[in-house]
Amino acid sequence: MIDFGSFRTASCTGTNRRSFLRTAAAVPAFAAAGLPAMADIEAARKRAKAKSVILLWLWGGPSHVDMVDPKPDAPDDFRGPFGTIATKTPGMQFTELLPRMAARSDRYSVIRSMQTTNGGHPGAGTVGVTGFEESPGPVQPNFGAIVARHRGQQEALPPFFYVGRGIPRDLPRRIEGYGGGTLGKAWDPFLVHCSERGEVSIPTLKMLPRMSPNRIRDRRALMKQMDAERYRLDASEVDRWGQTFQSAYGLLTSDEAREAFDLTSESRKTRSSYGNTTFGQGCLLARRLAQAGVPYIQVNWSEYVETFTPNGDFGWDTHIYNFELLQDRHCPIFDRAYSALLDDLYDQGMMDDTLLVAMGEFGRTPRISNRASREHWQHCYFSIWAGAGIEPGRCIGESDARGEYPVSRPITPLMAGTTIAELCGVGAQERAQMKVLDGGSLIDELL
């Protein structure tokens, strides 16, 4: 079987580059004969509805069984302490920690059969946002870098943003798949941070004293200050500096960009609906960036589990206090922010051309640990999809009675990335030309 649009072959291991080349070589013959390949290409073109992607990156590994895939009839040492509630999707229950999302499940679809290949944060993080292991390398590009490269540099706003404190990391190191990978550093994400008060800061500019987006008014003064900083650097740093500050300068001297960063122009009702949390306000910033035409925005969950890990930034990595953290902090914050973002995208008329995806790098052990928490679990986890042609109100995939393994088709990060790319117009041909997402197939059930 050849499914050009979905980029699948009959191989159970998926399509490799050789099989793609075979497929590509066959295209003219199919095209000449007016055979289905062209129809598939046309179908792919029609699928490309996403002007922007907002990825809510739930770094750390959120517990699937304590959130969107509860197992109330599992044995005591698996079942969590939380009750279950109905959602608007027939037959799908959530735990009581996500009531707002449960009331909106007719607007998104949930995949309960995600599976990845790596059980450590940096490695699984790279797989989660590139589709591939870091080693043997080279490190593949982040999904955002692929979309950014396809769309190209915009005039004012970079095409790929990270909203968060920095590149997701654990204590030893950061994830390697954070940026451009084989496409080059030009497609690395541009980092902005948003405080719980909605104050946006650009870490790149922290070297410039007293500089913030709201204070940039005098372009000449800004340029002078940037040049002064540039002279302080040694030669090896100048290129990197130039690249970074070209983006920063473009941002700060652009009315369009400054407007995108100005959350104060939103009504108080809108801002508060997201919650006065870093993640909540970061989601609002992401909506504004998408509205301004940024193709790919990754909002990195961060800062909350720090309560129990000083100076760490491990997000949902709840090795201790799993149940307490989920009920006290993470789930109320996520439930509110996600629901507000969903409502806002609908109210703004952006849902048809904005793809909203929420996922982490893996799930957590269905068996409760000896410290009443849950550890890493790469064999089964979840993702949530909405907008840009995603069929809403579906529960896709099924995990077994304990939430340990998928009992229906496992969905991989590579499939997630391929689907994101396809919805952004990065079709099979473009992917092959860029040499990215090799072997990836679409998550057909979403479309």
Partner 1 sequence: MRSLLTIFFAASTLAVAAEPVRLTSDGSLKRDPRFVDGGNSIVYCFDENPALVRMMKLSMDDRSAKPVFENAAGKHHIEPAFSPDGNWISYTACTGNLTARLVIASLKEGKEAYITHQGRGGTRSPVFSPDSKRVIYAFAEKGPQQLWSVKTDGSDKKQLTTSSGVSNWPTFTPDGRQIVFSNSREKNYEIYIMNADGSNERRLTTNTLMDIRPAVSPDGRQIAFVSTRTGNYDVFVMNIDGSNLRQITNSDERDDYPRWHPNGRQLVTVSERDGEFDLYLRDVVDVNVADR
The contact set with partner 1 (CB under 8 A) reads 72, 76-77, 79-85, 96, 99, 165, 171, 196, 268-269, 271-278, 280, 303, 306-312, 319-321, 323-324, 327-329, 332, 336, 368-373
Min separation Cβ 211 and partner 1, Å:
21
d(CA 269, CA 257): 23
Q: What is the CA radius of gyration of the chain?
A: 22
Nearer to partner 1, 8 or 71 (CB): 71
How far apart are the C-alpha atoms of 447 and 439, rounded to whole Å?
Answer: 19
Least Å distance, CB 83 to partner 1, is 4
Q: Do residues 100 and 131 make contact, with C-beta atoms less than 8 angstroms apart?
A: no
Alpha-carbon dihedral sign for residues 422, 424, 425, 428: negative
**In terms of CB distance, is 91 or 172 closer to partner 1?**
172
Rounded-to-integer distance, Cα 142 and Cα 434, Å: 13
Give the Cα separation of 6 and 42 in Å (integer).
12
What's the CA gap between 207 and 119, in Å, rounded?
A: 37
| C-beta closer to partner 1: residue 150 or 319 | 319
**Shortest distance, CB of residue 23 to partner 1, whole angstroms?**
48
Shortest distance, position 345 Cβ to partner 1, whole Å: 18
- Least spacing, CB of residue 258 vs partner 1, in Å: 24
Q: Where are the beta strands (DSSP E) in 381-424?
A: 381-386, 395-396
d(CA 272, CA 268): 6
Question: DSSP letters of 154-207?
Answer: -SSS-SEEEESSSS-B-SS-B-STTS-GGG-GGGSPEEEEE-TT--EE-GGGGG
In whole angstroms, the minimum distance from the beta carbon of 253 to partner 1 comes to 29
Closer residue to partner 1 (CB): 98 or 252: 98
- Closer of 151 and 288 to partner 1 (Cβ): 288
Residue with Cβ nearer partner 1 (159 or 275): 275
Shortest Cβ 334–partner 1 spacing (Å): 13
Q: Which is nearer to partner 1, 119 or 293 (CB)?
A: 119
Nearest to 179 by CA among 134, 230, 217: 134
Write down the least CB distance from residue 315 to partner 1, Å.
Answer: 12
Alpha helices in 233-372 (DSSP H): 235-252, 255-261, 268-273, 278-291, 322-325, 331-347
C-beta separation of 126 from 177 below 8 A: yes
Nearer to partner 1, 328 or 398 (CB): 328
Nearer to partner 1, 48 or 103 (CB): 103
Structure tokens at 329: 């902090």
Q: What are phi and psi of 192, to 5 degrees?
A: -130, 150
Q: Least distance (Å) from partner 1 to the CB of residue 343? A: 13
